[in-house]
Amino acid sequence: MKKISVFAGLAFALLPLLANAEAWSETGKVIYVDDGDTVVLLRSDNSRMKIRLSDIDAPESMHGQKRPGQPLSQKATDYLKSLVHGKIVNAHCYEFDRYKRGVCTITVDGQSVNLKMVHAGLAWANRANPKYVRDTRVYEAESVAKKQAVGVWSQPNQVAPWRWRKDCWNDAACDGAEQ
């Protein structure tokens, strides 16, 4: 009897994880680009969904006085806008993050926008959380962008966004911040 109740308790505890276990798709129009890896999708039922692009991490945008943006954060945002703003996109989603954003791969005309951001050197492959990288092509795209010295790779001493959040935002060491 004790084994059954332990199993039942474990199954109940895992329910939230199982709810996010299956991927799903969304289609809609991008009505807002928040930064280089976050957009807002307007669905056909007029509901909105905030989406965080899976597999990548773009330069951090400014979030108030104490959280300055990284170099090229605005360029990354502008490039993402040029790819998706006002367009109908498909989003293949895997889960929701702690901010309740869908974590998704966005495609336009069958091409991965996430991958295009890395190819352009305006996002890193998400090495801080590699378990969340579903499209491993981002690693090769990053390598090519580095070799071609495009985007962030055209500038010396680039800091990955996950390091920026720790060093600059948490520890106030913000060399090269974009104000």
Q: What residue ranges define each of the domains in the chain, with the CATH number in brackets?
A: 21-170 (2.40.50.90)
| pLDDT for res 30 | 99
β-strand partners of 111 = 108
Query: 170 with 140: CB under 8 angstroms?
Result: no
Q: Which amino acid is at 23?
A: A
Reported as a pLDDT band with limits 50, 70 and 90, residue 131 is confident
Calpha distance 11→37 (Å, rounded): 34
Pick from 27-36, 82-91, 146-155, 164-173: least confident: 164-173
Calpha distance 175→78 (Å, rounded): 23
Q: Which of 107, 100, 124, 106 minimizes the C-alpha distance to 50? A: 100
> Which residue among 43, 48, 95, 101 is the active-site one?
101
- Phi then psi for 172, rounded to 5 degrees? 60, 30
Q: Give me the mean pLDDT over the 105-134 stretch.
A: 95
Active site residue 52: yes
| pLDDT for res 175 | 62
Q: Which of 107, 79, 76, 109 minimizes the C-alpha distance to 93? A: 107
> Which residue among 22, 48, 60, 142 is the active-site one?
60
